Structure 1
Amino acid sequence: MMRFLTISLTTLALCFVTEGSAHAQNKGRASGFQDLNFGLISNPAIDAVRSLDLCVYSSTSRYSVMAYGSAGDGAFALAGPGADLPFEVEWAQAGGVSSGTTLSPNVPMGNQFSEADHKHCKKSSPSTASLIVRLRSTALKAAPAGDYSGTLSVVVAVE
């Protein structure tokens, strides 16, 4: 029996700066965020993976990243016709990659480094990070057919 899942995930980005900065607006920027549409998933036997190439600029070259989902307590899960469908979030300090370090909801991961040389990320480093979202096949196989959606918020803070 064929089951179909339709998955969409809205991503939001926030960028914070070091406290006490006189020129807070010039301290950091994260760009390249957009919604992730997994579309119709007809083969739950394999992981479904989507990624975004991002540019993170920090005037100090260092930053932390934290993510939280729209499920209870900020968990990474999509709402659908049955129980929530969990997903994993990974972060990499390079653009164009398909795997990274797994993030835990609401837990900052510090000591990230960016080589972006301009706050608008338009010069020599258009992509300095990757956000990877992974739906494991084990979760997909257990999910009832239907539409799933959720929100993933990512917070980048200058260190």
Structure 2
Amino acid sequence: MVTPNAAAGWDIRAERYDTEDATALRRDYYDDVASRYWRRPATPREVDEGLAGDGVEALEPPTGRFLVGRYDGRAAACGGVLLLDAERAELTRVFVRHAFRGTGGAGLLLNALEEAAVGLGARRMVLNTRLDLVEARALYARHGYREIPAYCEGPYMEVWYGKELG
């Protein structure tokens, strides 16, 4: 999967979750969301603990996909989709490194993740997030996601969104 060059410099492709770039992006994602939640920098140990057993292995066909976005060749963004059932995919681990925000990559990444979900057979995308992740919530709203009733529960889930695909 390659995104069209809608925003100069971006290339988004499916990639294994355990490549060097994908692993570094996943670590940065977890560090970012954990640090915001705890209102202090996460330690490397806390990041390791958060990533251990997080189920990322399911983000491979036939149950999911993991995408890495590169900006001018540098690993800059990532995200995954996970099939929940025959019709729904869950959007997860969507992240753009701070240095690359504002370059158009988030929207391209979201579009590529939606295409990946359709390719896996999904007709609807759902996601959960926290209220404090205002940038992510604004991105989802700009791309047609609307609040839905909770479809799952957990300690870091405060709002749920859904969107019909394709």
Question: Shorter-chain-normalised TM-score: which range?
Answer: under 0.3
Q: Report 1 or 2 for greater relative contact order, CA contacts < 8 Å, sequence distance ≥ 6.
A: 1
- What is the TM-score with the length of structure 1 in the denominator? 0.25
* Structure exhibiting the larger radius of gyration computed from Cα positions: 1
Give the helix-richer structure, 1 or 2: 2
